[in-house]
Amino acid sequence: MATSSRIASVSTSLLKNNQYGISSVVGRASSWWSHVEMGPPDAILGVTEAYKRDTNPKKINLGVGAYRDDNGKPYVLPSVLKAEERLSAKKLDKEYAPIAGSAEFCNLSINLALGEDNEQSKNGLNATLQGISGTGSLRIGAAFLAKFFPGNKEVYLPTPSWGNHTPIFKHSGLNVQQYRYYDPKTCGFDFQGALQDIAKIPEKSIILFHACAHNPTGVDPKPEQWAEISKVVQQKKLFPFFDMAYQGFASGDVARDAFAVRHFVKNGHEIVLTQSYAKNMGLYGERAGAFSLITSSKEAAQTTLSQLKIIVRPMYSNPPIHGARIVTEILSDPSLKSQWLQDVKGMADRIISVRTQLRDNLKKEGSQRDWSHITDQIGMFCFTGMNQQQAERLTKDFSVYLTKDGRISMAGVTSKNVDYLAHAIHEITK
Amino acid sequence: MATSSRIASVSTSLLKNNQYGISSVVGRASSWWSHVEMGPPDAILGVTEAYKRDTNPKKINLGVGAYRDDNGKPYVLPSVLKAEERLSAKKLDKEYAPIAGSAEFCNLSINLALGEDNEQSKNGLNATLQGISGTGSLRIGAAFLAKFFPGNKEVYLPTPSWGNHTPIFKHSGLNVQQYRYYDPKTCGFDFQGALQDIAKIPEKSIILFHACAHNPTGVDPKPEQWAEISKVVQQKKLFPFFDMAYQGFASGDVARDAFAVRHFVKNGHEIVLTQSYAKNMGLYGERAGAFSLITSSKEAAQTTLSQLKIIVRPMYSNPPIHGARIVTEILSDPSLKSQWLQDVKGMADRIISVRTQLRDNLKKEGSQRDWSHITDQIGMFCFTGMNQQQV
């Protein structure tokens, strides 16, 4: 590695040009870090920052990937508030959780995903750990697969997928490939394209599915389409990785949203499953999630769990307790759980309702376009079908903030701004 | 990679011997994971599990790395309870923290470490992020160094060091080496051995120090020894990585425990610093900690921060809010902070007191051995000098 000698008054441009900013003399003139370039700013954050600077009173932030109530405010679920009251009264200590999180949290999580009487957890076939919400659970999965997956260490993502999937897998040492998913012509699911591409994936590769409420498109396969996909995945000996970040939040029904996961598992697939409680319990910053490996033997569940813990220990030792305790309080108490199921249905219903209002209002505005995808799509996000220029004009002319791909967060739409939004979209697309 | 065909009734031993348990037919007979071996159990956990099984009423668990009160019970600090009451009354939402954690938390953390009026944070020379307690902050540091460190990508650890240091660095792609530290002959600091080994470390390597209350030995250099070490590190152009998991918890005095860190920084070293609030605020499971890079320019602080965030995003996106809010509530309120300083001094005093009692009792028992290391050592742990058989 090249070394360089310095004089105290070296200019900063010299520092920048030198690949390694090593100081011969410890002092202010140079640094170990002069060679580090500014990284690109976060795309989504940029949207919110521009929104904050905008002084237009009618401005709308549709970049935000977090639920908002009908007044555009963050929402803490009543069941969560109640759970926190109870926890507070219990006067618990703050001792470390086990490396894998509490066993109760893990059992409740896998049972929520697979259903209360599922064969897998009854027979100890799952290796489940608490993860740091969805992202942390994905990262555990990626690290485990990079180390132990006996097949082709490539992950096939739907096109498009959540932006963070690719770096999660790449940073863990897995290659990332694509399969067709979203059809821009229909703003819907490219079922035939997906089946064709999946059939061409090399055997024993990893294929990632969004269990429900696909992010960013909102486009989900129908149950009969999931059944077809399951067959092809089986025939091609592919390994399914399910990312379920919106169970309950998509349709309002936790069983319905878990259909694909449960179907695959019932049909004998050994899967990886990541779960997040960020959206469906509104626990965002508390970072509660779970990672599961569904295996075919108790022994495999135990050995893989031991290896997963060895991966987690040098990442962060043990997971944060607060969010997990809220989840446990809610899911373990029938009345709190019942309350929660109502809360999450309420959120899903509001989203579905503003989808309907937006679509109706566009019609009222006189739009000739087919906007049915607004109500066909599901979950937090809607791929409007607008292109980048249209998205930019929407922002510039109407102070409606969204991402360049034409994605809007339905959470940012309220009964109070949906008229204005429909008008703005119509003006841009007519 | 070898593939193999299966028959449905293959025995489990065949499955174990086959390196890749690929199923040709999806079914219960085989698995993607048959080849995975059971990993070694966690050493410390084994101690606690054996303790739990023991029926002797006089049993004592000295494996636990968490503070206990004088009744052997977990302890939630009064200042923490008060902070949680206040937070509860504020009815905050649960929105995502920024990738780097809240700016207030980060500022409070670096100022706790370096002192309220430190030049570095005043001039924006630090890149600080909230990390998942000490471990998570170490992992961020390891990942950053593996990617961006311009020198020799080897980390020199004291012998011995916390067991988790090695896998943290290795899993991040850095080599791990050693320098002499603990002297088993004296149960104290091998100052000469350390200096000799440090002088031999290749230039521009990374050298890790425990800022205070060395884990597992409890043996810390004296201030004048730290000053010597700082000079050698400077001469040898080494990059100091400070792991500070016990600030306040060691001596009972946050400034005193941060002496080494502050000394190095004041003497111009650009360091990495990891902090944990697990022990000194008793926040263990809440996972509150911080990672800092002290640079020599505002620009370097900004560019490195941007790169740190790019590393964090695909790890866990953003850090857990609850513990950080407690820390922020305490450190930002003079009366709560004052309460906390008393709470942490109380914990440190109890530890120091039982060290003294243990040493005195050994003398009363008639022991002829020199047990002064029990009170010379500091912090959570004591290296008794007993060997494995004696244990």
pLDDT in tens, B39-86: 998 777 778 888 889 999 999 999 878 999 999 999 999 999 999 999
Whether B32 sits inside 8 A of A283 (CB atoms) is no
Cβ-nearest to B32 among A270, A287, A306 = A270
Residues A215 and A249 in one domain: yes
Lookup result for tokens 């310095």: A6
Whether B285 sits inside 8 A of A96 (CB atoms) is yes
Identify the residue among B32, B75, B235 best suited for mutation to test binding to A, counting A beta carbons within 10 A and taking the highest. Answer: B32
A28 has pLDDT over 90: no
Distance between A253 CA and the closest CA of chain B, angstroms: 23
DSSP codes joined into one string, B325-379: HHHHHHHHSHHHHHHHHHHHHHHHHHHHHHHHHHHHHHHHTT--S--HHHHHS-S
Identify the residue among A129, A230, A296 best suited for mutation to test binding to B, counting B beta carbons within 10 A and taking the highest. Answer: A296
Residue B93: name the closest of B333, B323, B329, B322 by CA: B322
Residue B217: what pLDDT?
Answer: 95
Residue A315: what pLDDT?
Answer: 97
Chain B CB contacts of A295 below 8 Å: 31-33
Residues A360 and A305 in one domain: no
DSSP codes joined into one string, B208-226: EEE-SS-TTT-----HHHH
Q: Are the beta carbons of B112 and B248 closer than 8 angstroms?
A: no
**Angle value at C-alpha A156, between A40 and A228, nearest 5 degrees:** 140
- For residue range B189-205, what is the model confidence (pLDDT) as tens digits? 999 999 999 999 999 99
Average pLDDT over residues B347-366: 96
Residue B5: what pLDDT?
Answer: 44
Distance between B306 CA and the closest CA of chain A, angstroms: 5
Whether B309 sits inside 8 A of A42 (CB atoms) is yes
Cβ-nearest to A88 among B27, B30, B88 = B88
Residue B30: what pLDDT?
Answer: 65
Residues A296 and A409 in one domain: no
Residues A326 and A352 in one domain: no
Residue A106: name the closest of A328, A314, A336 by CA: A328
Mean pLDDT of chain A: 92
- Could you tell me the CA-to-CA distances from A110 to A125, A307, A336, A349, B36 in Å, in that order? 11, 19, 18, 25, 22
Please, which residues bridge with residue B176 across strands? B155
Gap between the Cα atoms of B4 and B11, Å rounded: 14
The reply to whether A248 falls in a domain is yes
The reply to whether A132 falls in a domain is yes
Whether B80 sits inside 8 A of A94 (CB atoms) is yes
Distance between alpha carbon B301 and the CA centroid of its chain, in Å?
23
φ, ψ dihedrals at A234, nearest 5°:
-65, -50
Residues A235 and A107 in one domain: yes
Chain A CB contacts of B103 below 8 Å: none
Q: Is residue B303 less than 8 Å (CB to CB) from chain A?
A: yes
Structure tokens at B186: 């004296």
Chain A CB contacts of B283 below 8 Å: 94
The residues of A that are catalytic are 162, 243, 279
Residues A358 and A214 in one domain: no
Q: Is residue A265 less than 8 Å (CB to CB) from chain B?
A: no
Residue B2: what pLDDT?
Answer: 40
Cβ-nearest to B167 among A38, A269, A314 = A314
Gap between the Cα atoms of B54 and B26, Å rounded: 45
Residues A227 and A301 in one domain: yes
**Angle value at C-alpha A247, between A271 and B95, nearest 5 degrees:** 115
Residue A7: what pLDDT?
Answer: 40
Alpha-helical segments (H) within A63-219: 78-90, 103-114, 119-122, 133-148, 165-171, 191-199
* CATH code of the domain in which A384 resides: 3.90.1150.10
The reply to whether A8 falls in a domain is no
Three-state SS at A68: coil
Of A332, A362, A383, which one is at a domain's C-terminal end? A332
Identify the residue among A17, A32, A126, A309 best suited for mutation to test binding to B, counting B beta carbons within 10 A and taking the highest. Answer: A32
Return the beta strands (E) in A307-414 as ranges.
381-383, 400-401, 407-409
The reply to whether A6 falls in a domain is no
Gap between the Cα atoms of A208 and B22, Å rounded: 19
Distance between alpha carbon B124 and the CA centroid of its chain, in Å?
25
% of chain A at pLDDT higher than 70: 93
A257 has pLDDT over 90: yes
Residue B46: what pLDDT?
Answer: 76
Average pLDDT over residues B31-39: 92
Q: Is residue A54 less than 8 Å (CB to CB) from chain B?
A: no
Q: Is residue B322 less than 8 Å (CB to CB) from chain A?
A: yes
A46 falls in which pLDDT band (50, 70, 90)?
Answer: confident
A253 falls in which pLDDT band (50, 70, 90)?
Answer: very high
Lookup result for tokens 């942390």: A136
Whether A268 sits inside 8 A of B167 (CB atoms) is no
A29 has pLDDT over 70: no
Gap between the Cα atoms of A254 and A280, Å rounded: 10
Please, which residues bridge with residue A205 across strands? A152
Beta-carbon contacts of residue A168 (< 8 Å; ≥ 6 apart)? A135, A138, A139, A142, B314
CA quadruple A224, A230, A235, A236: dihedral sign: positive
A381 has pLDDT over 60: yes
Of A332, A360, A382, which one is at a domain's C-terminal end? A332
Q: Is residue A225 less than 8 Å (CB to CB) from chain B?
A: no
Whether B270 sits inside 8 A of A22 (CB atoms) is no
Of A289, A307, A332, which one is at a domain's C-terminal end? A332
Q: Is residue A9 less than 8 Å (CB to CB) from chain B?
A: no
Contacting A residues, span 281-300, partner chain B, CB-CB under 8 Å:
282-287, 293, 295-297, 299-300
Whether A303 sits inside 8 A of B36 (CB atoms) is yes
Gap between the Cα atoms of A67 and A74, Å rounded: 7
Residues A183 and A315 in one domain: yes
The reply to whether A338 falls in a domain is no
Contacting B residues, span 330-389, partner chain A, CB-CB under 8 Å:
none
Whether B285 sits inside 8 A of A20 (CB atoms) is no
Whether B314 sits inside 8 A of A164 (CB atoms) is yes
Average pLDDT over residues B275-293: 98
DSSP state of B60: -
CA quadruple B23, B24, B27, B28: dihedral sign: negative
Residues A183 and A327 in one domain: yes
The reply to whether A191 falls in a domain is yes
B130 has pLDDT over 90: yes
Whether B297 sits inside 8 A of A31 (CB atoms) is yes
Residues A310 and A391 in one domain: no
Residue A293: name the closest of A163, A135, A142 by CA: A142
The residues of B that are catalytic are 162, 243, 279
Three-state SS at A51: helix
The reply to whether A29 falls in a domain is no
Gap between the Cα atoms of A96 and A277, Å rounded: 21
End-to-end C-alpha distance for chain A, whole angstroms: 60
Lookup result for tokens 């987690």: A312
Gap between the Cα atoms of A245 and A77, Å rounded: 17
Q: Are the beta carbons of A207 and A242 closer than 8 angstroms?
A: no
Whether A38 sits inside 8 A of B302 (CB atoms) is yes
Whether B133 sits inside 8 A of A310 (CB atoms) is no
The reply to whether A233 falls in a domain is yes
Q: Is residue A279 less than 8 Å (CB to CB) from chain B?
A: no
Residue A30: what pLDDT?
Answer: 65
* Alpha-carbon dihedral A280, A286, A287, A290, rounded to 10 degrees: -60
- For residue range A143-171, what is the model confidence (pLDDT) as tens digits? 999 999 999 999 999 999 999 999 999 99
Considering the entire predicted model, what is its pTM? 0.92
A135 has pLDDT over 90: yes
Q: Are the beta carbons of A306 and A313 closer than 8 angstroms?
A: no
Q: Is residue B99 less than 8 Å (CB to CB) from chain A?
A: yes
Whether B315 sits inside 8 A of A139 (CB atoms) is yes
Q: Is residue B306 less than 8 Å (CB to CB) from chain A?
A: yes
The DSSP bridge pattern shows strands B206-210 and B188-189 to be unpaired
Supply the range of the domain harboring residue A396.
43-76+348-429
Gap between the Cα atoms of A254 and A246, Å rounded: 9
Identify the residue among A287, A304, A328 best suited for mutation to test binding to B, counting B beta carbons within 10 A and taking the highest. Answer: A287
Q: Is residue A21 less than 8 Å (CB to CB) from chain B?
A: yes
A310 has pLDDT over 50: yes
Cβ-nearest to A287 among B26, B303, B320 = B320
Q: Is residue B323 less than 8 Å (CB to CB) from chain A?
A: yes
Mean pLDDT of chain B: 92
B172 has pLDDT over 90: yes
Distance between alpha carbon A359 and the CA centroid of its chain, in Å?
26
Q: Give me the number of domains chain A comprises.
A: 2
Residue B260: name the closest of B334, B158, B146 by CA: B158
Q: Are the beta carbons of B180 and B196 closer than 8 angstroms?
A: yes
Residues A320 and A360 in one domain: no
Residues A373 and A290 in one domain: no
Lookup result for tokens 């990332």: A176
* CATH code of the domain in which A133 resides: 3.40.640.10
- For residue range B217-267, what is the model confidence (pLDDT) as tens digits? 999 999 999 999 999 999 999 999 999 999 999 999 999 999 999 999 999
Residue B8: what pLDDT?
Answer: 40
